[in-house]
Amino acid sequence: MRCFKPPRKFVPYEVDKTSNFKYELCRIMRPDDANIVGHVHGGNILKMIEEAGCIISTRHCNTQNEDRCLAALVRVEKTEFLAPLFIGEVAHATAEITFTSQHSLEVQVKVIGEDIITGSKKLVNKAVLWYVPCSQLNVDKIMKVPPIKFTTEQEEEGRQRYETQKTARLKTKEMIEDVTPPPPNPEKHTVGFSQSSLIHLVGPSDCTLHDYVHGGVTMKLMDEVAGIVAARHCNTNIVTASVHAINFHRKINKGCVVTVTGRLTFTSNKSMEIEVVVDACSLVNEEKVSYRAVSAFFTFISLDKFRRAQIVPPLQVSGEEEQRRYDEGQARYLFNKAKRVAEREAEQ
């Protein structure tokens, strides 16, 4: 085996002269990535986004001279699925570091779908992720992030995003509630009717070198449960439309069983909001304390056979709790709708 000096052109961060901190992952979408009508599951796209983010963050955080470290996902900002991906198309996920604080870094990932037969391309997703570097020797030790020099304007905007997400994360942490599942309800279109749980025993391929579950693996499971809840509610071809900010409260390690539970909180005319919580529990520790590892809201839409969004049956809520969650879901829905309108006007 011969030693090798890598040719200049292979170093990915020399590819684009405008940024030193870019990374691209790509792969062909296969039948197993998609549902029966050929739509790639949103969860697979989230998983790919996280893999790209994890690689670029880990690489950057190891450019310092202290402990070797691995970047752990702590938050994904609200993200929308802008176009569907299909089997046989190639997905390109390009990650770029866009801000660094002392102990965290922001990564923006764009996913482009390419039809290699026709050559056409489309923007599938744009996501913003936050990572913190954990020492390889002691996973609870958060390392310092080597600072990156941005323009004053970029720096200023980044700091604002940083403060906003920090506040949001603290707020969510307080809000974590103990989810006692509603009794199953045989009546259609109620919360209890479509609520679903899956359990998954964490295996080696789900984990990083630290033996902690990749954030992307967890997001894929969450999307899977949310999709089943949505399909049970409306019995049609459903697709992920967007994911509200996801916070990763605690790590999940190898050998855990994770229980992923989804329940409908709100339906608008053409969308469904599903709350998904992930609880983890070690199988081998005697104490066996289950803890809330992640929680998030997924929005799904229902498609007819021409792939147009169609009317969703209204959710039947009952009881104070279900009503409260419905109202909160409606508030999020109206807020996002107003925001989209504002953005569209700003673009024009």
Number of residues that bind its own copies (CB under 8 A): 90
16 versus 177: smaller Cβ distance to its own copies: 16
Task: Tell me which of 35, 185, 253, 336 is the catalytic residue.
Answer: 35
122: contact with its own copies by CB under 8 A: yes
223 catalytic, yes or no?
yes
Alpha carbons 109 and 127: distance in angstroms, whole number:
5
111 versus 296: smaller Cβ distance to its own copies: 111
Binding to its own copies, residues 180-209 (CB under 8 A)? 181, 183-184, 186, 195-201, 203-205, 207-209
Task: Tell me which of 44, 62, 206, 223 is the catalytic residue.
Answer: 223
319: contact with its own copies by CB under 8 A: no
9 versus 149: smaller Cβ distance to its own copies: 9
Minimum distance between the CB of residue 36 and its own copies, rounded to whole angstroms? 4
**Per-residue mark of binding to its own copies, 222-261 (x: CB under 8 A):** --xx-xx--xx--xxx----------------xx-x----
44 catalytic, yes or no?
no
Q: Token pair of 59, please?
A: 């690489």
55: contact with its own copies by CB under 8 A: yes
Q: State which of residues 20, 78, 82, 249 lies at the interface with its own copies (CB under 8 A).
A: 82
Minimum distance between the CB of residue 102 and its own copies, rounded to whole angstroms? 21
92: contact with its own copies by CB under 8 A: yes
315: contact with its own copies by CB under 8 A: no
94: contact with its own copies by CB under 8 A: yes
270: contact with its own copies by CB under 8 A: no
98: contact with its own copies by CB under 8 A: no
Q: State which of residues 20, 101, 136, 310 lies at the interface with its own copies (CB under 8 A).
A: 136
Pick the closest to residue 278 from 326, 239, 323, 225 (CA basis): 225
Binding to its own copies, residues 206-225 (CB under 8 A)? 207-209, 224-225
Which residues are known to be catalytic? 35, 223
